Each structure stands twice: as structure tokens, then as C-alpha cells.
Amino acid sequence: MEWKFETRMANGKPYDRYEYDSAIRMKYSTSKPEDFDLETRAWRAYQVEEVKKVLSKRAYLEHANRRAEALDTLWTKERADSATYGRNWGYYVGLDNIRKYYVDGNPFGGAGTDVCHPFTTYKIIIADDNKTAQATWYSIGYEINPALGKDVDCYWDNQRCGADLVYEDGQWKIWHYFAGTDFAVRPGFPYASLRTEETTPCDKQLEKEFGTPDVAFKAYDSFYNYYFYPEITMEHATFADAISNGPEGNPNYKG
Amino acid sequence: MSKHYTAEQYADRCMIIREVQNVVGKVAHCDMLADYDLSPNFWSKAEDICLGVNDGYFKGREAVLGYYAQKLENAKKLTRLVMEKWADHKDVKGKTEAEMFGAGYVKGTDMHTPIIEVAEDMKSAKALWQFQAADTRVTTKGPLSVWKIGYMAADLVEEDGEWKIKNLLYALDIDHPCAEPWTEASKYQDDPEFAAFAIPEPVPNVKAEVYKSYSVDRPYQEPPRMPEPYATLAETFSYGI
């Protein structure tokens, strides 16, 4: 990996461009902005805003406790069978199974419960073929639900997230969604006091809430620094399993 | 299916989204820095502007400007009280009130999770963000950091080529001191030593329960309504009253 610098032309004027060439970019995309015609470049710029809106609406509908609506309006229909929802302990595969976990097993909605998983620090890339999009982001969220033997308990749930979206009938739809929890601790709990061999105080609750996924394996782990998945979203020519936010893109997946 | 636009329309709409983000971002920065004398610059010149908070609305231009005027006076008063309380502190001694403006106040605000809809006629926009803020100031309980987490929603209009706020709504979901569980009563109590720091917040001229911040017995509550695709501002709902 290295930083490359070059001077390019735009609107008849030269401009300086630094480019971060990663293995993924070099492997999956060789295109440059000027390879797209003006119409397509404008369309692609706007689609980044559209993807932002879809993933923000997902967060909003979850907070609003309208989970069925989130699945029905924001998730893929054409690729329902291969849709995935992943957490630290594995993946639910297929919209029907995702619904069983995400909607039927929803622990929120009672008095004193609350949930917030915002969409922040995002990076969004539209594939060169304009058929899919990828995003990675960080989410400093919180959950307040019946937990740890109490009527309600609250904890920060800090997640590193990734998603693949597909363009269906003129709209972006979520295809693969992954949320890896780094810390789940009660407000005021000092992170630094955790020993590496300990699970964080609320992980057990999150694991119980997630249940037994269709594809169970250690998909995310924050014992030692940040995990290597989901990988930072990079420019790519087309979607490939190797960069998927579904299980196939997870280095721990044994398929 | 989403609409298809020309390249120029896509570019224009992207620019509007950026302007909307910037204008409301500037208002949030004014709040962070207590620069409330600047805040009115980002509002529409219309008389029917509206600022909503959890317990009501500042309805009308006079009420909104009054809100910012009082917030500015409150920041100045806090500065004076901090200077009196710590008059012998090396950072205070010999300083003027203007030099010390903002002492005792820090409010980091992070706006995110944007849902921004630009009207089909491109003369207005609606937006909704989540925000997380740690409001730190000297209070009647002593110096205290309080989580202020919630939603900012806005209606914006184009006036003379600039984007301005017509309605703004702050809906606080979490309003609780930092570093302690929100599901328990706060351990922080009023301290007579800091009684002088009782500085009342502006009071809305239209009292209403707009949004309720978290308590263990709060019924489940939806956030403010999401913007929806729309043609003109007159044809959609309003974040004001």
C-alpha cells in the first residue's frame, strides 16, 4: 500500500490528487472518475446521498420500533434468499430468517425501552458497474431493554458496521448488513478496566438477544484492537464475494 | 422507483443537500460555541419561523430571536459567575469578561444519520439528523457533563440564493448526566455552593409536550417523523406549528 500523487485535469484546469491505493482498489477497480461520462458521474454523486438516506432510514425505523417496515421497505426483494444480517456470533441468511430474529424476536417496545444505532463516520462507494454499493460506518449506539435480570438496563453498544446494497427498480436496497459490537458497557463503566479475557458486561445479553444464527461462527471479536472485518470500503469494479459484508467476505468463514 | 434527473439537476440537488448540511451544521456550531449572536443569520426572514424543543415551541420571529438573545445573555452570565467563583485562578485573574466569554461551558455536538429530502421544485428541503452532545457547564450541582442525545429536524427554504431555516426542532431522547446509567436516578444533587448558577433556560411561548426525554416509565416513543419525498413545502408536513 502506498500514497500516490498525481496532477489531473478537471474542467480544463489541473488539480492535485492524492490517491490511496490499497490491495482491494488495485485488485477490483482500475477506473477513474473521468472514465464515466458526465451524466453517469452526476448520477453516481447523487446515489451516494441516496445510500446515506437508506442506511439512515434503517437506523430511524429501528429507533421507531418499526422493524417490519424497515425489512419491507429498505431490504432487497430480488435477492431475498441471499440477504444476510450479521453480528459477532454469525449470520442470519434469507429475509424470512432475518425476520424471525429481527422482527419476531424484537425485545424493544415496552415502557422504558429504547434503542439507537446511528449511521456515522460513513464511507460509501458505488461499484463501477453501478449495480451495487458498499458502505462501512461506525455507530456509537445505545440500548435500554430488559437485561441482566433487571426490568430495564442501559448500555452503550458501539458497533463497526458494513453493508452491501443493490439497485432494484430505481432504488437502493439493503442486501447484506453487518454490525460488529466492539463494546457493550453500561454508561460510566470504564472500558480500560476490562481485562482481555473478560467478555464485556453486556455481551452476554447481546448474544442472547441475537440467538442462534443460521451460519454460526466468530464473525467479529474486539478482544485485541479493532477486527479486520468489515474491511474499509474501497472503490471496486463490481461486487465480489471476497469483499462481501455477508459471511463469504468474512475471513473466518469456512463455507 | 426514484425519479431520473438530468446531470445538472443531480448536481444541483447534491449542492442543496450540502448547503442544508452546512446551514444546520453552522447552527449546531453556534450552540457549541455559545455564539448565539450569529445564530439568527441562518434563519429565514419570514415572520412565521418556529423553533421547537421538548416542552414547546418558540413560535414567530420575535420568539425565536428572543430565544437566542436569552441564550446569549445566559452564556454571558455563566462567564461572569465563573469569573467570580474562581476570581483568584491564574487563568481568570486580570482577564476581561469578553476575554473569558464561554468559560464554564463546553458542548461537543455530533450530527449524523442524515435524511435529507429536496423538494421537486428545489425551493425547499426537509432534513432529520440524530445528534449526540455532551453538554458540560457549571450548574447548581457543580461542574457537570450531561448527555444530550436526540434528533434535529428542519425545514429549509431558499431565500435570495441562500438556504435558510424556516422551522427547527430539537427532540431530546437522552438528557442525563454522563458516566452513570440512565435507568437509575442521578447521584448528582444541587450543591448550595453553586446555588448562584441557577440560570433559567428560555421558556417557549407555546407550551406543549413535543417530545419526552428518557425515563424508566416513559412509554415507547417514536422519533420525529422522517422527511418524505415531496413536491413543494406546502404539500408536506411541517416541523413547526
CB A214 within 8 A of CB A92: yes
State pTM to two decimals. 0.92
Decide if B223 touches A, using CB distance below 8 A.
yes
B216 with A110: Cβ contact below 8 A: no
pLDDT score of B27 more than 70: yes
Structural domains in chain B, CATH included, are 7-235 (3.10.450.50)
What size, in residues, is chain A? 255
Q: Which domain holds residue A106?
A: 53-249
Separation between Cα atoms, residue A28 and residue A232, nearest integer Å: 14
Helices (H), chain B: 7-33, 61-85, 97-100
Rounded to the nearest 5°, which phi and psi values hold at B124? -150, 170
Residue A126: inside a domain: yes
What lies within 8 Å, CB to CB, of A34 at 6+ separation is: A8, A10
**What does the DSSP 8-state code read for residue A75?**
B
Q: Is A119 exposed, middle or buried (0-12, 13-18, 19+ CB in 10 A)?
A: buried
Decide if B10 touches A, using CB distance below 8 A.
yes
Return the minimum-mean-pLDDT range out of A70-84, A187-201, B21-35: A187-201
Which chain A residues contact residue B20 at CB under 8 A?
Answer: none
CB A249 within 8 A of CB A241: yes
pLDDT score of B172 more than 50: yes
Confidence band, pLDDT 50/70/90 cuts, at residue A119 = very high
Q: What is the pLDDT of residue A191?
A: 75
Of the CA atoms within 13 Å of residue B223, those in its CB half-sphere come to: 32
B214 with A120: Cβ contact below 8 A: no
Pick A112 or B118 by higher pLDDT: B118
Positive or negative, the CA dihedral B85, B91, B96, B101 is: negative
Q: Which H, E and C letters describe B133-155, residue by residue? A: EEEEEEECCEEEEEEEEEEEEEE
Residue A28: inside a domain: no
B174 with A65: Cβ contact below 8 A: no
Mean pLDDT computed over every residue of chain B:
96
Considering only residues 136 to 175 of chain B, which have any Cβ-Cβ distance to chain A shorter than 8 Å? 147, 149, 173-174
Q: Give the residue from A78, A79, A119, A70 showing the smallest Cα distance to A99.
A: A70
Residue A8: inside a domain: no
Q: What is the pLDDT of residue B18?
A: 97
Residue A7: inside a domain: no
Residue A112: inside a domain: yes
Which chain A residues contact residue B226 at CB under 8 A?
Answer: 57, 60
How many structural domains is chain A composed of? 1
Interface confidence, given as ipTM, is 0.95
CATH number reported for the structural domain that contains residue A57 in this entry: 3.10.450.50
Rounded to the nearest 5°, which phi and psi values hold at B238? -120, 145
